[in-house]
Chain A
Amino acid sequence: MEHLLSAGDLSRTDAVRILDTAAELAATQGREIKKLPTLRGRTVVNLFFEDSTRTRISFETAAKRLSADVINFAAKGSSVSKGESLKDTALTLQAMGADAVVIRHHASGAPHLLASSGWLQAAVVNAGDGTHQHPTQALLDAYTLRRHLVGPQPLGQDLAGLRVAIVGDVLHSRVARSNVDLLHTLGARVTLVAPPTLLPVGVETWPCEVSYHLDEVLAQGLDAVMMLRVQRERMSSAGGGFFPSPLEYSRRYGLDARRLAALPSHAVVLHPGPMNRGLEISATAADSSRSVIVEQVANGVAVRMAVLYLLLAGGRREDVS
């Protein structure tokens, strides 16, 4: 593994290895002194063209726990707004000797460009690009699902046979794309649930099922339901007019108390955050004992530690790619 650009690039072996590594690293995080010396002297750059405090802090924490030097590069204003071009930014980072670049960008494909252009030698980690991919989110979701639903010895295991619904704005969601790829690779059965306006043309070729009806999917018996953030502005005409009103959306696709109660007792509720309480998820669901949303955040650090570790300390070995 040279870069992590798309969840679709990961084989089952790659993915399970990352999850297992994350579990091993997480076990060290209960100690009083959490810092490991593994990446001492290595430089990780967080290159964020889009605001995302949560993801940036998660990567920063992960890198610091591994003793890497972390540089936060908030590059708001890219070539799109006639600032510095991605190329010049990349050349600058190369000159500074970055070992890994964690990139968040509003343009789909920007991490791919960074990795394939020859502008820099660093390992590239996609921390979310446009409406394309967010692979570490999918990995932390898979890690969370495995912890709760595969046991008692999850190491080495995949997610074979689990039934997962992903509900919400699939069209604009890099989280949905990444999760469909990874969960499928790990053997889970995924159903996307959304109003037809929020599903991309071409979704029928994805390795998952698609439904317009949340209640029908809930009735099939799920192991997990993942709620996606829905931006309120999507309902306005200027925002695309994808649905008539927030109220109609939550009536048809929101995880309210009634739907929460319809889940089997072992099922868990996920959300990549930040949540719109009262729109796609009710406070009852978000704060219930089924919710693993806060735990997802903690798991995010472990998974990102694993990714950085495998890319920078162990990942150049043939057996990992």
Chain B
Amino acid sequence: MTEYLLRGARPLGGEPVDVRISGGVIVALGTGLSDDGAHVVDAQDHVLLPGLVDLHTHLREPGREDAETVASGTRAAALGGFTAVHAMANTNPVADTAGVVEQVFHLGRRAGWVDVFPVGAVSIGLEGERLAELGAMADSEARVRVFSDDGKCVWDPVLMRRALEYVKAFDGVIAQHAQEPRLTEHAQMHEGVVSAQIGLAGWPAVAEEAIIARDVLLAEHVGSRLHVCHLSTAGSVEIVRWAKGRGIDVTAEVTPHHLLLTDELARGYDARFKVNPPLRTQADVEAVRAGLADGTIDIVATDHAPHPVEDKDCEWAAAAFGMTGRETALSVVQHAMVETGLLDWEGVARVLSTAPARIGRVEDRHGRPIAVGEPATLTLVDPAARRTVDPRTQATASPNTPYFDRELPGRVVATFLRGRPTVLDGAPVEQEGASA
């Protein structure tokens, strides 16, 4: 295995050091290290982070290989600086059995770009009626710890209670897509001033907040671990803050797009801005940024949701919900959080690596300290670079990025997965067959 020397990298944005990687681990940290026999990576002024972990992403395989495959999706993840992704269960067939989660797990291994951790469905077929065999998925080779019906809310309070209780046996977590279904029938966008004017059916903030409020109380009652997916409203931040203050074991995530974009973008009826939960108001954006900065929101996860052109190039009401984001997540966080002074690079490492690794229970391999003896699972980013987003140059198989033509800061220069580069000089490093 090739040895690497990162020359002058700044771990978590700190003082520059040389980092020597060999045998899958960091073997030396210091200034003026010898580059003898090593491939040298010029890391001047580059920030070194633990490899990023995406707790919420859609790889679409099996079932919608026209939108994305495990191979294309994980390649995009590596280019975005990720070394691990948690793939949501709403595939076809649904990842609600040990067989499907193991299939996704093995597809991930074969692709070799990142570690793929399948998320298991909470209910059979995401139907919200009967628990899927959560234990079998937990005991499978995929070792599932995160369970979610994402795309649909576990609405039945009894089913939610049972799920929260049941996963305690294997230290699992229920990741809830908080959406009261009756309050959001036919909903198209955030309900407010813009929806009233442009005549699209509203998705009220209360439909998210009511479920989060119920779930934190359920989690408290049964002493379980709850994770709130893609929190999007100021009210949700308040509820999670209150729950944490009470000692409830809840974690929360926000997507990059909810940190930056607002419902004003719906005015042109461009369905690339259609997403669930919907883009909210500027006040909500400010609130989720503040919540992420003060730790109320634990992590940023992409909710990368690829869709083929025809699912977006149509009437808003006919278009699919979702936007891509794996290759832009770090840039959006830099833009919305670092450049605004709300978060330093240590904070970025926390919300994009350490905390998601801990919530997903993969902290033995991901989100590790940058120290001698630790796995060389790392992301090197040039924060001074700027680029204009162009879906045609992205690795994801789908073009539905909401950041088209937008200039964003930062560029992933290199990604290492256990000492092996998946990205070098900003370009993907193709693998010879299976690995990792």
Measuring CB to CB, which residues of chain A are less than 8 angstroms from any residue of chain B?
Answer: 8, 78-80, 85-87, 105-110, 112-113, 116-117, 129-133, 174, 177, 200-203, 205-206
Check if B317 is an interface residue, CB within 8 A of chain A: yes
Q: A201-B204, A202-B193 given as contacts; is B314 within 8 A of A133 (CB)?
A: no
Of the listed stretches B24-32, B195-203, B243-251, B286-294, name the one at the interface; the rest are far from the partner chain: B195-203
The closest CB in chain B to the CB of A80 belongs to B318
Point out the residues of chain B lying under 8 angstroms from A113, CB to CB: 269, 314-316
Indicate if the CB atoms of B315 and A109 lie closer than 8 Å. yes
Question: What 7 A-B pairs come out closest when comparing CB atoms?
Answer: A109-B269, A132-B199, A202-B196, A107-B315, A200-B196, A131-B199, A108-B199
Which residue numbers of B lie inside 8 Å of A, CB to CB? 191-202, 204, 268-269, 310, 313-318
Tell me which residues across on chain A come within 8 A of B198, comparing CB atoms.
Answer: 108-109, 132
* Chain A proximity of B375: nearest CB distance (Å): 48
**Is the pair B204, A110 in contact by a Cβ cutoff of 8 Å?**
no
A117 to B316, CA, bound (A): 13
26 residue pairs bridging A and B, Cβ less than 8 Å apart: A78-B315, A80-B317, A86-B315, A105-B315, A107-B316, A107-B318, A108-B198, A108-B199, A108-B317, A109-B200, A113-B314, A113-B315, A113-B316, A129-B199, A131-B199, A131-B200, A131-B201, A132-B199, A177-B197, A200-B202, A201-B191, A201-B204, A202-B192, A203-B196, A205-B196, A205-B197
In the complex, are the beta carbons of B197 and A202 less than 8 A apart?
A: yes
A319 CA to B176 CA, complexed, in Å? 56
Q: Are B313 and A130 in contact (CB under 8 A)?
A: no
- Taking A78-B318, A86-B315, A200-B202 as given, write out 12 further A-B residue pairs in contact, using a Cβ cutoff of 8 Å, ordered by the A residue number: A86-B314, A109-B316, A112-B268, A113-B316, A129-B199, A132-B200, A174-B199, A201-B192, A201-B195, A202-B196, A202-B197, A205-B193
> A201–B192 Cα gap in the complex (Å)?
6
Bound: A202/B201 CA distance, A: 12
Is B192 a contact partner of A130 (Cβ separation < 8 A)?
A: no
Q: Which residues of A contact B202 (CB under 8 A)?
A: 200-201
Residues of B within 8 A of A174 (CB): 199
Contact (Cβ within 8 A) B269 A108: yes
In whole angstroms, what is the CA distance A200 to B313 when docked? 28
Which chain B residues lie closer than 8 Å to A87 at the CB level?
313-314
A116 CA to B269 CA, complexed, in Å: 10
Point out the residue from A78, A107, A206 that lies within 8 Å of B196, measured CB to CB: A206
By a CB distance below 8 angstroms, the chain A residues around B192 are 201-202
**Interchain CB contact under 8 A, B191 and A202:** yes
Q: In the complex, what distance in Å separates the CA atom of A86 from the CA atom of B316?
A: 11
Alpha-carbon separation in the docked complex, A201 to B317 (Å): 19
Q: Could you tell me the distance in whole angstroms from the C-beta of A80 to the nearest C-beta in chain B?
A: 5
B268 partner residues in chain A, CB cutoff 8 A: 112, 116
Tell me, rounded to whole Å, the shortest Cβ–Cβ distance linking A131 to chain B. Answer: 4
Across-interface contacts of B196 in A (CB, < 8 A): 200-203, 205-206
Complex Cα gap A108–B316 (Å)? 8
Residues of A within 8 A of B199 (CB): 108-109, 129-133, 174, 177
In chain A, what residue has the closest Cβ to B314? A79
Residues on B with beta carbons closer than 8 Å to the beta carbon of A8: 197
Complex Cα distance, B192 from A105, in Å, reads 23
Residues on B with C-beta less than 8 A from A80 are 315, 317-318
Distance between A24 CB and nearest chain B CB, rounded to angstroms: 32
A79 touches B315 (CB 8 A): yes
Please pick, from B191, B193, B317, the residue contacting A107 in the complex, using a CB distance under 8 A. Answer: B317
A116 to B, closest residue via Cβ: B268
Contact across chains for A110 and B315 when beta carbons are under 8 A apart: yes
A275 to B83, alpha carbons, bound, how many Å? 62
Q: How far is the CA of A85 from the CA of B311 in the complex (A)?
A: 10
A291 to B8, CA, bound (A): 82
Which residues in B have their C-beta under 8 angstroms from that of A106? 317
The reply to whether B200 and A108 form a contact with Cβ atoms under 8 Å apart is yes
Q: Given A109-B200, A113-B269, is A202 in contact with B195 using a C-beta cutoff of 8 Å? A: yes
Tell me the bound Cα distance from A118 to B317 in angstroms.
Answer: 20
Q: Shortest beta-carbon distance, B233 to chain A, in Å? A: 14
Give A109 to B317 CA distance when docked, in angstroms.
Answer: 9
Contact across chains for B200 and A85 when beta carbons are under 8 A apart: no
Contacts of A202 in B (CB 8 A): 191-197
Which chain B residues lie closer than 8 Å to A117 at the CB level?
313
| A117 vs B200: C-alpha distance when bound (angstroms) | 19
Bound together, the chains give a CA A110 to CA B318 distance in angstroms of: 10
Hey, which chain A residues are within 8 Å of B316, CB to CB? 107-109, 113
Q: Within 8 Å CB of B310, what residues of A? A: 85
| Bound form: Cα–Cα A258–B371 in Å | 84
CB-CB < 8 A to B201: which residues of A?
131
Q: What is the bound-complex CA distance between A206 and B202, given in angstroms?
A: 17
Q: Could you tell me if B318 and A79 are in contact, using CB atoms closer than 8 angstroms?
A: yes
* Residues of A contacting B193 in the complex (Cβ-Cβ under 8 angstroms): 202, 205
Q: How far is the CB of A168 from chain B (nearest CB, A)?
A: 16
A231 CB, min distance to chain B CBs, angstroms: 15
Instruction: A80 to B311: give the CA distance in the assembly, Å.
Output: 11
Whole-angstrom distance between the Cβ of A8 and the nearest chain B Cβ = 8
B129 to chain A, nearest CB (A): 22
B313: chain A residues within 8 A (beta carbon): 85, 87, 117
Nearest-CB distance from B263 to chain A (Å)? 10
CA distance in complex: A78, B315 (Å): 10
Q: Of the candidates A112, A205, A206, which one forms a contact with B269 in the assembled complex, judged by CB atoms under 8 Å apart?
A: A112
Residue of B192, B193, B201, B318 ringed by the most chain A CB atoms within 10 A: B318
Please give, as numbers and ranges, the residues of chain A lying within 8 Å of B204 by CB-CB distance.
201
Q: Which of B194, B197, B204, B315 has the most CB of A within 10 A?
A: B315
- Residues from chain B with Cβ under 8 Å of A206 in the complex: 196-197
B374 to chain A, nearest CB (A): 51
In the bound complex, CA of A262 to CA of B351 (Å):
65
Most buried by A among B202, B269, B313: B269
- Name the residue of chain A whose CB is nearest to the CB of B196: A202
- Name the CB-closest residue of B to A201: B191
Contacts of A107 in B (CB 8 A): 315-318
In the assembled complex, the Cα of A108 lies from the Cα of B200 at a distance in Å of: 6
Q: Please name the residue on chain B nearest to A106 by beta carbon.
A: B317
Which has the most chain A C-beta neighbours within 10 Å: B195, B198, B199, B318?
B199
Tell me, rounded to whole Å, the shortest Cβ–Cβ distance linking A88 to chain B: 10
Q: In the complex, what residue of chain B is closest to A87 when comparing beta carbons?
A: B313
Contact of B314 among A85, A116, A129, A205 (CB under 8 A): A85
Cα distance A292–B338 in the bound complex, in angstroms? 62
> How far, in Å, is B384 (CB) from chain A's closest CB?
36
- Chain B: minimal CB distance from A206 (Å): 7
- Within 8 Å CB of A85, what residues of B? 310, 313-314
Contacts of A131 in B (CB 8 A): 199-201
